[in-house]
Amino acid sequence: MKIRISGMVLGLALAMPLARAQQPQQNNSTITFKVNSEIVLTNVVVRDKRTGQLVQGLTAKDFSITEDGKPQHIISFDYENVDEAAPLDEATINASAPNGIFGARTGVATQQELHDHRLVVMFFDLTSMQPEDVERAQEAARNYIDKQMRPADLVAMVSLNTTLSLDQDFTANKQLLLRAVDSYSGTEEQGFAPGATSTTNQVEDATSFTPDEEEYNDINTDRELFAIEDIAKSLTYLNEKKSLLYFSGGIQRDGIENQASLNAAINAAVRANLSVYSVDARGLEAISPLGDATTGSLRGANAYNGAATQNNLDANFNTQEVMATLSSDTGGKAFFDSNDFSPAFAQMQKDTSAYYVIGYHSTDPRRDGRYRRISIKVDRKDLKLEYRRGYYAPADYRHATKDEREQQLEDELASPLPATDLPVYLEALYFRQAPGRFFVPISLVVPGSEIPFVKGGDRDKATLDIIGQVRDMNGRDIGDVRDTVKLAVNESEQVRQKNVQYTTGFSLPTGKYHVKFVVRENETGRMGSFETDLFVPDLHKVPLKMSSVVLASQLAPARKQQDSPLVRNGQELVPNLPHVFRTNQHLYLLYEVYDPAHATAVKAAAEKSGKDVKPEAAAVRVMTSIEFLRGSAKVFETPVVQATQINVPDRNAVAFQFDLPLDSLKPGTYICQINVIDDAGGTFTFPRTALLVRPAAPAATTPAPETSGGN
């Protein structure tokens, strides 16, 4: 296992505008809230079992609440009923209004005006929507504002484009809301997310979500989930129930996805009492077996035997899966395959018309981060209660002992609640070791700017705890990692321009697995997790047997002799996780082809006859080349390389390694296609992956790579 500090170029990114609102000073028009972070709040909807009608008039004495079976004392009780809401005085809503819910100063409601009001956030994900999708979402929003919006509704407008933007704070002013909706018109910088229609493992977006992680915000899924999590955290301090109308053109899921980011978004929404109502802005689609205009012409029989239609249906379903999960797990509802979006607004209004807000201080003082189950009962049998069933307790790091800190890592590894305070990114590859068994190298990356270094002598020091686990689909433990990495650098400012990359590996048979890693920096105790499903393929079922394709921008000296396929001639390829390169860098590619046809046939014949095989008789003919595409145009291709013999005999493989300078490529997004043909066997494959080439960085921001040893 290794730990590396690799060069990273700093970029410019806009700050997130949805910072948690500051508490306003008390004056004639506002009220000061004292928020106790230890109070547990839950909203309860009470309905008649027979009629389903909402029940009013209950008091705190009618309810009893337990946490993990222990009775709790209700210290706060409130009833929210939008039918009793008083319309806001629009004359008091102007540019000089005090800080609003999100902190804006243009036409907002103040905190004291929220009682008995419905809080609605409209979130337009412009990165995923085509221009016609945006128009449909805008029309639905205008229709709600003009015809469905009630006096009790306070609405905010948020959009995700190059950054997450608050376009309008909570207000009942329809003109302000319509103005925000109209601002989403146009096609500039929206839709056409890089790689949205490509079959890639990772796709880099030229924009960034946070300054420190710009090269790793390549997966559109994570950017959207980070945005939802940030919106939820901005609203956590409000007791009222909130609703998020999420307009999207579908969330792409390509390659290895961080399920922790999805779980974190859901948990943040649950904590904030925010229900997500997902709306697929593509509306009702007719899926053609030949594909739409974004795909090339099909070859073979797939267009006629139903395979192409099934693939297109699966692709469409995959883009809706995350949206459906967000809605179901937060108490909302998803609306797909319809051109009428008004039911989404109607359902949201119905779900938030009346509810009770109950608060209590937990009798369990432990800050162990464990899940605590809530049970609420009412002293009438004819009533039905709807409420959240539990929450995760806060966790404390500084007051923990060594054993307790170790237990925290173990608990986080086993917990369904993800830790996302520390950004963590992961890539897994596979190389065949023997028939049916593979070596799976795994790389973890933590942005150096997220690690607090402490001055120690003439060097700045920090430590990272890493724990990981691989389980099969039956939940059995297949492999574990537990390591503590010590870092030391000469200048703390230099590490802010770098990433800490940790490498390890597992030997696994063919099959499907679940991988989870947890990383903790040991100054503040912040933890981050990455978990994903991992599929190790059965190469017997494919015509041409091939490993993963490794893309790297660095070669590092191997610290010791290893069996890892990433080590060649004493040098190790350091995988480039985000597939982001500079024009003054080199692109290193590595992949292996197993059991080439002619060599296998000659070897089998020799074993049968008992004769020795001459090297020239075992010659193979495997040809390969690399080409770069922008759109449908080929902009670069290497000469064809032909292998005539096995060069990795212990794996019966032909290994190819390329070193491509990128100074001849213009900055932009490319599709890198690897062409591989086994000429003797008549088989071929053309795997593709997306990469982003950026301009050469100034020398001052590209420090030489440093390495730090691990076990």
Pick from 41-45, 347-351, 606-610: least confident? 606-610
Task: Supply the pLDDT for residue 285.
Answer: 63
Which has more confidence, 252 or 282? 282
Highest mean pLDDT among 17-21, 133-137, 371-375, 554-558: 133-137
* Lowest mean per-residue pLDDT among 134-138, 375-379, 459-463, 544-548: 459-463
Q: What tokens does 547 get?
A: 């490993």
Residue among 221, 227, 230 nearest 323 (CA): 221
pLDDT of residue 600: 57
Q: End-to-end CA distance of the chain, in Å? A: 6
**For range 402-418, the mean pLDDT:** 82
Tokens of 149: 């919006």
Q: Where in the chain is the domain with CATH 2.60.40.1470?
A: 408-544
- Residue 50 to residues 54, 348, 381, 526: CA-CA distances in angstroms? 11, 22, 11, 49
By the 8 A CB rule, do 445 and 543 touch? no
The confidence band for 673, taking pLDDT boundaries of 50, 70 and 90, is very high
- Answer with the residue of higher pLDDT: 236 or 621: 621
Residue type, 165: S
**pLDDT-derived band of residue 202, with 50, 70 and 90 as boundaries?**
very low
Q: Which residues contact 190 (CB under 8 A, 6 or more apart)?
A: 126, 127, 129, 131, 134, 161, 184
Contact 486, 461 (CB under 8 A): yes
Q: What is the pLDDT of residue 110?
A: 54
Per-residue pLDDT at 549 = 95
| Mean local confidence (pLDDT), 121-135 | 89
DSSP for 220-258?
A: HHHHHHHHHHHHHHHTTT--S-EEEEEEES-----SS--
Confidence at residue 591, expressed as pLDDT on a 0 to 100 scale: 96
Token pair for residue 6? 């690799």
Q: What is the pLDDT of residue 221?
A: 54
Predicted pLDDT at 195: 33
Taking residues 677-686, report their average pLDDT. 89
Q: Among 75-89, 126-140, 630-644, 655-669, which is the least confidently predicted range? A: 75-89
Which superfamily does CATH assign the domain made up of 408-544 to?
A: ApaG domain (2.60.40.1470)
pLDDT of residue 605: 59
Summarize the confidence of residues 83-87 as an average pLDDT. 57
More confident residue, 84 or 324: 324
Question: Using 50, 70 and 90 to split pLDDT, how confident is the model at 536?
Answer: very high
Model confidence band, residue 590 (pLDDT cutoffs 50, 70, 90)? very high
Average pLDDT over residues 414-433: 87
Contacts of 607 (CB under 8 A, 6+ apart): none
Can you give the pLDDT at residue 462? Answer: 87
What does the pLDDT read at residue 17? 33
Q: How confident is residue 351, by pLDDT bands cut at 50, 70 and 90? A: confident
Kindly report, as residue ranges, where domains of CATH 2.60.40.3880 are found in the chain.
548-711
For residue 697, the SS3 value is coil
Domain with CATH 3.40.50.410 in the chain: 39-102+115-392
Q: Beta strand pairing status for 274-280 and 334-335?
A: parallel
Beta bridge partners of residue 446, listed in sequence order: 500
Judged by DSSP in three states, 698 sits in coil
pLDDT score of 704: 37
Q: Residue 127 and residue 247: Cα distance in Å, rounded?
A: 11
Among 6-15, 64-73, 218-227, 280-289, name the one with the lowest average pLDDT. Answer: 6-15
Q: Kindly state the tokens that stand for 100.
A: 């609003």
- The four Cα atoms 236, 242, 243, 244 give a dihedral, to 10 degrees, of -30
Q: Which helix (H) or strand (E) holds 482?
A: strand 477-489
Residues of the chain with pLDDT > 90, as a percent, come to 27
Looking at the predicted structure, is the pLDDT value of residue 209 above 70? no
Instruction: With cut-offs at 50, 70 and 90, classify the pLDDT of residue 206.
Output: very low
Q: How many residues does the chain have?
A: 711
| CATH architecture observed for domain 39-102+115-392 | 3-Layer(aba) Sandwich (3.40)
Q: Can you tell me the distance from the alpha carbon of 366 to that of 392, in angstroms, rounded to the nearest whole number?
A: 12
pLDDT digits (tens, 9 = 90+) for 39-68: 787 878 888 888 888 888 899 999 999 999
Identify the DSSP state of 3. Answer: E
User: What pLDDT shows up at residue 389?
Assistant: 77
Arithmetic mean of pLDDT, 121-125: 93
pLDDT of residue 341: 87
Q: Is the pLDDT score of 292 beyond 80?
A: no
Check pLDDT > 90 for residue 639.
Answer: yes
State what percent of residues in the chain have pLDDT above 70. 71
Q: Which of 532, 515, 586 is nearest to 554 (CA)?
A: 586
* Strand, helix or coil for residue 80: strand
Q: How do strand 274-280 and strand 242-248 relate by DSSP bridges?
A: parallel
Which tokens sit at 92?
A: 């008091």
Q: Are strands 688-694 and 580-582 parallel, antiparallel or unpaired?
A: parallel
27, pLDDT greater than 80: no
DSSP secondary structure string for all residues of 352-391:
TSEEEEEEEE-S----B--EEEEEEEES-TTEEEE---EE
Structure tokens at 214: 């710009």
- What is the predicted pLDDT for the residue at 310? 58
Q: What span, in angstroms and rounded, lies between the C-alpha atoms of 653 and 644? A: 12
Confidence of residue 448 (pLDDT cuts 50, 70, 90): confident
Do the beta carbons of residue 254 and residue 322 sit within 8 Å?
A: no
Decide which of 708 and 145 is more confident. 145
pLDDT at 208: 29
The architecture that CATH gives domain 548-711 is Sandwich (2.60)
Q: Judge whether residue 498 has pLDDT over 50.
A: yes
Confidence at residue 92, expressed as pLDDT on a 0 to 100 scale: 43
DSSP alpha helix (H) spans, 572-687: 597-609
Write the Ramachandran bin of 195: left for phi over 0, alpha for psi from -120 to 50, otherwise beta. Answer: left
- On the question of pLDDT at 526 being above 50, the answer is yes
d(CA 593, CA 308) in angstroms, rounded, equals 27
Cβ-contact 284, 339 below 8 angstroms: yes
Mean pLDDT of the chain: 76
Q: Alpha-carbon distance 625 to 270, whole Å?
A: 50
**Mean pLDDT of the 317-343 span:** 83
Higher pLDDT, 293 or 205: 293
User: Residue 286: pLDDT above 70?
Assistant: no
Residue pair 194/206 in contact (Cβ under 8 Å)? The answer is yes
- Going by pLDDT thresholds of 50, 70 and 90, the confidence category of residue 170 is confident
